[in-house]
Chain A
Amino acid sequence: MAAFVLRRLLIALPTLFVIVTLAFFMMRIAPGGPFDGERALPPEIEANLKAAYNLDAPLPEQYLRYLGGLLRGDFGPSFKTKDFTVAELILTGLPVSMKVGAGALVLALFFGVLLGTIGALRQNSAIDHSVMSLAIIGITIPTFVTAPVLSLVFGVYLGWLPAGGWHEGSLGALILPWIVLSLPLIAIISRLTRTGMIEALRSNFVRTARAKGLPEPVVVIRHALPAAITPLVSYLGPAAAGLLTGSLIVEKIFALPGIGRYFVDGALARDYTLVLGVVVVFATAIVVLNLIADILYGLLDPRVRYS
């Protein structure tokens, strides 16, 4: 397995290189620049600024300079948040995004798998239909609707939780973001689990387990469940990467200091280095979490070989 992991990581390096290169040049093709604003700068001041940030050098030179910095772990200065480097911004924001995302992931997995399993065990019953209807609702209502509504109800009207803000990472500030982020995931996970579980319950190894006289809970949890959630694992790799690197909408509506907003805000502000920094983080997260998903496959399904 070590060889497998090593090989995958070696393949990841050129992948990251291609992503960074594409992102670098795509950002630069976009019209407008970091110093365009409501107040047009006098040409001489714009020239001073461009020189200060090396933006006056030819593009290939800027690119090589950026890559060189990246290899030394230097993500460069942020054009917009000038008092911080991109690395500082990501290092303070990433733990926040991960805390929000990890909590939502745990919630989503627990309730998604639970609801999906119940649905499968009581297939076509009233419970099954209501669980699956809820799932459809969870998928169709976007987070930019659930977030303000929950904030209004639990924050403003009931006053049980803060309407927004990080509050130094207190539990109260995390509950609503966790719920909002996990709702659509619960919906998808429960549907994936239900389908997988129905298939697993009909398979030969489950029939064998039942024939051995094992109690039903053991049959479901130990034998059917691992097979049922295999499709889920491949979905979870990229989904977890998305969750852990932050959500623009949830971070904006709840005013959370994560890195999810940097991608869109940075792109709109033409904060080239910040966007590239977030791209590197996101791409790395996808590569690593996909690798973890592939390793999990092997643990869940004995037929899978690492090759």
Chain B
Amino acid sequence: MTRALTVPKLPLTRRRLMEGALAAGLLAGQSRLAFAQGRLTLHRGNGAEPGSLDPHRVAGTWESRIVGEMLMGLMTEDAAGQAVPGMAIAQEASADGLTWTFTIRPDAVWSDGTPVTAGDFEYAWKRILDPATAAEYASILHGLKNARAVNLGEMPVDALGVRASGDKTLVVELEHPMPYLLEMITHTAFSPVPRHQVETLGEDWVKPGSYLSNGAYKLADWRPNDRIILTRNEKFWDNANVQIDEVIFYSISDNNAALRRFRTGELDMNPGWPVQQGPDLKKSMPDQALIHQMLGVSYIVANTKRPPFDDVRVRKALSLAVDRKAITDQVFMGFSGVPAYSFVPTGIANYPGTPKVGFVDMAMPERQAEARRLLAEAGFSKANPLRFALSYRSGNDDARRYVIAVQAMWKMVGIEAELDPREPKVLYDLLKEKDFTVGEAGWVADFNDPYNFLFLAHSKSERFNYPNFNDAEYDRLLDAAEREPDLGRRGELLAEAEQILLDSHTFMPTYFLVSRNLVGRHVTGYVGNVNDVYRTRWLGIDASKKG
């Protein structure tokens, strides 16, 4: 559900002046020309510069946003970001849920006219798991049979549980049932690659001119740090229903700069806008500056290997004292999160969603009193306050405001936290190596399922399990859920596990993330969604509302 900002709009942009003589003389003629030819071009801001357009080398949303326009997996996303058939027209699961058979769309071809085959998928999935490819996102495929061993180099690539049976049938074997399989394989890491092209050109197949698409768009040009131009793929099986002829993605890492370019009409969409501009945007363009909850959580972790954080009373005191609502409503002014009392975001698929931290219904003064009592029990007092360093990401204004607020909230119950800003790369390294005391972290789901959050705290997920949470019962419940074919029963097992996690106060959820999108009022077909995925193939431009 898109939460549009609801305050009457004021006329603000003066785009018409762009038509003036000066602008006409100075602006590049490209977009004007495109307009003259009746071609529809969509200009989209894209945050950071993509590191790669090879589906096996991408790691960020700013990369998969573009790759997803060009490559289509067995399943793909509809206008609302939900999984719908892509290259597969039918699938069948065995009774034990361990073997899936997909039938590939008969009319699907690559942009050079070569048919898309089951072999392209088999080749792609083996390629991403091949240790030689060194794919950062390979672990998302580890649920395929023997995938982990293949990725480790312990088994040959051919041992992987995927094989083409003829040109149009793909048989996939799994390590354990995955009720979220169809959701998960919309992820870019599961894209096919054009085997014939990759085998001929190697890594260079991703260059403009060589890149082959089986999706709605193909790669026309890429100038690093400027823009990536995609044009309509006439060979796309659903091309008749695609409205936009050309989509240009611009790398604009500064949200303020993107907002200015959106206001001048240079951008039609942008994935982000500055929180600080929220109150102004709420007045000037409530129908264009949109926010929507997404599947992500921001949380605080306390390292249980470092006393006194091995004491649950101390951790609970920390969590009690953090006023979630004050953070989302006052610090972020309602533009950057919703209070979180569970670790798995509300509204996630395949989940009853009952677990909550125990103090969810307590008023703040009560919570603060309880925090003080717990701290006193653990041996802390005014004369001997709890002191530690709170590590956080530097260079991010929102993160800084957030930790300053948390620091002040802790101060109210007598906790002395010292702010410890770290470069993001350094912070993540410290968290991973467990070389921190208390830190802030976050997680955005790769696919819409609670397991994608809860596995972080499994004792085997060493590098994700920053606080060193280690609970045999939790691990048992998670492992049982992984083998459970019944979706309802599985959800209960996972919920039981989450309650254990919440009661441990090792991962302390503070707020669920929201996406902030700028969407021009002339852009049609936009449906805000928790996955924050908006494929251009579903969008259009209503020229009467432009300008």
Interface-lining segment among B46-54, B302-310, B380-388: B46-54
Contact B30 A168 (CB under 8 A): yes
User: Which residue from B16, B136, B443 sits with its C-beta under 8 Å from A35?
Assistant: B136
Q: Which residues of A lie under 8 Å from residue B27 when comparing CB positions?
A: 162, 167, 170, 172
Q: Given known contacts A45-B138, A156-B13, A159-B20, is B425 in contact with A255 (CB within 8 Å)?
A: no
Report 8 cross-chain contacts, Cβ distance below 8 Å, ordered by A residue.
A33-B425, A33-B429, A156-B13, A159-B264, A161-B23, A162-B264, A164-B252, A173-B28
- B139–A93 touching, CB < 8 Å: no
- Also in contact, A165 and B266, with CB within 8 A (given A93-B225, A255-B251): yes
**Per-position binary interface string of chain B over residues 1-43, scored 1 when its CB falls under 8 Å from any chain A CB and 0 otherwise:** 0000000000001111110101101111010000000000000
Q: Which of B134, B151, B203, B266 has the most CB of A within 10 A?
A: B134
Q: B422-436: which have CB < 8 Å to A?
A: 423-426, 428-432
B237 at interface, CB cutoff 8 A: no
Cβ A83 vs Cβ B206 within 8 A: yes
Known: A82-B51, A254-B257, A255-B254. A163 touches B263 (CB 8 A): yes
Q: Mark A69-81, 1 if CB is under 8 A from B, else 0.
A: 0000000001011
Contact with A along B329-358 (1 / 0, CB 8 A): 000000000000000000000000000000
CA of A41 to CA of B135, assembled, Å: 10
Q: Tell me which residues across on chain A come within 8 A of B483, comparing CB atoms.
A: none
Contact (Cβ within 8 A) A270 B136: no
A194 interface hit (Cβ, 8 Å): no
Residue A171 is within 8 A (CB to CB) of chain B in the complex: yes
Across the A-B interface, the 9 shortest Cβ-Cβ residue pairs: A172-B26, A159-B17, A40-B463, A32-B425, A257-B226, A52-B134, A170-B28, A257-B225, A48-B134
Give the contacts of A233-272 with B (CB-CB under 8 A): 251-258, 261, 268-270
A148 at the B interface (CB under 8 A): yes
**A257 and B264 contact, CB distance less than 8 A:** no
CB of A36 within 8 A of CB of B26, answer no
Contact: B256 with A32, CB < 8 Å? no
Q: Is the interface of A mostly helix, strand, loop or mixed?
A: loop
Instruction: List the B residue with the shortest CB-CB distance to A156.
Output: B263
Question: Given A31-B429, A32-B429, A257-B223, A40–B423 Cβ distance below 8 Å?
Answer: no
Cα A268 to Cα B53 with chains together (Å):
22
In the complex, which of the residues A43, A83, A152, A170 contacts B54, with contact meaning CB atoms closer than 8 Å? A83
The complex places the Cα of A93 from the Cα of B53 at a distance, in Å, of 19
Q: How far is the CA of A166 from the CA of B223 in the complex (A)?
A: 10
Q: Is A295 engaged at the interface, CB distance under 8 Å to the other chain? A: no
- Residues of chain A within 8 A of B50, CB atoms compared: 81, 83
Given the complex of chains A and B, what is the CA–CA distance between A243 and B443 in angstroms? Answer: 40
Are the CB atoms of B52 and A82 closer together than 8 Å? yes
Complexed CA–CA distance, A130 and B28 (Å): 37
- Bound complex: CA A171 to CA B27 (Å): 7
Task: Write the chain B residue with the least CB distance to A172.
Answer: B26
Is B521 positioned at the interface, with any CB of A under 8 Å from its CB?
Answer: no
User: Does A175 sit within 8 A of B, measured CB to CB?
Assistant: yes
Chain B residues contacting A80 (CB-CB under 8 Å) are 51
Give Cα A169 to B25, complex, Å.
14
Could you give, for residues 415-447 of chain B, a 1 whenever the CB lies within 8 Å of some chain A CB and a 0 otherwise? 000000001111011111000000001111000
Quote the shortest CB–CB distance from A253 to chain B (angstroms). 5
Could you tell me the distance in whole angstroms from the C-beta of A268 to the nearest C-beta in chain B? 6
Judge whether B89 is part of the interface by a CB distance below 8 angstroms.
Answer: no
Q: A81-B49, A166-B223 are in contact. List 18 more A-B contacts (CB 8 A).
A: A31-B430, A36-B432, A37-B59, A37-B428, A42-B139, A44-B151, A45-B135, A81-B50, A83-B53, A89-B224, A152-B260, A155-B260, A156-B13, A165-B226, A251-B225, A252-B257, A253-B257, A255-B250
A41 CA to B206 CA in the complex, in Å?
24
Q: Does A49 contact B (CB under 8 A)?
A: yes
The verdict on A38 contacting chain B, using a C-beta distance below 8 Å, is yes
Contact of A159 with B23 at beta-carbon distance under 8 Å, contacts A39-B59, A167-B28 already known: yes
Expressed in whole angstroms, the Cα–Cα distance for A82 and B17 within the complex equals 41
A269 to B395 alpha-carbon distance, docked (Å): 13
B425 contacts across to A, CB distance below 8 A: 32-33, 36-37, 268-270
Q: B57 touching A82 by the CB < 8 A rule?
A: yes
A163 touches B260 (CB 8 A): yes
A43 and B461 alpha carbons, distance in the complex (Å): 11
CB-based contact A32/B423 at 8 Å: yes
Which residues from chain B contact A110 at a C-beta distance below 8 Å? none
Highest count of chain B CB atoms <10 Å: which of A38, A83, A157 = A83
Q: A32 to nearest B CB, angstroms?
A: 4
Bound state CA distance, A293 and B444, in angstroms? 53
Given contacts A81-B51, A157-B14, contact A151 B257 (CB under 8 A): yes
The answer to whether B224 touches A84 (Cβ under 8 A) is yes
Q: Which of A84, A152, A255 has the most CB of B within 10 A?
A: A255
Once bound together, how far apart are the Cα atoms of A80 and B254, in whole Å? 18
B266-A45 in contact (CB<8A): no
- The yes or no answer to A51 lying at the interface (CB within 8 A) is yes
B151 and A252 within 8 A (CB): no
* A contact residues around B264 at 8 Å (CB): 155-156, 159, 162-163
**Nearest CB in chain A to that of B466: its residue:** A40
- Interchain nearest-CB distance for A262 vs B (Å): 8
B168 interface contact, C-beta 8 A:
no
* A40 in contact with B428 (CB, 8 Å): yes
Question: Can you name the residue of chain A whose Cβ is closest to the Cβ of B54?
Answer: A83
Beyond A36-B432, A40-B464, A81-B49, whether A49 also contacts B136 by CB under 8 A is yes
Q: Are B266 and A163 in contact (CB under 8 A)?
A: yes
- Identify the closest chain A residue to B45 (Cβ): A255
CB distance from A122 to the nearest CB of B (A): 34
Q: Taking the nearest CB of chain B, how far is it from the CB of A24, in angstroms?
A: 18
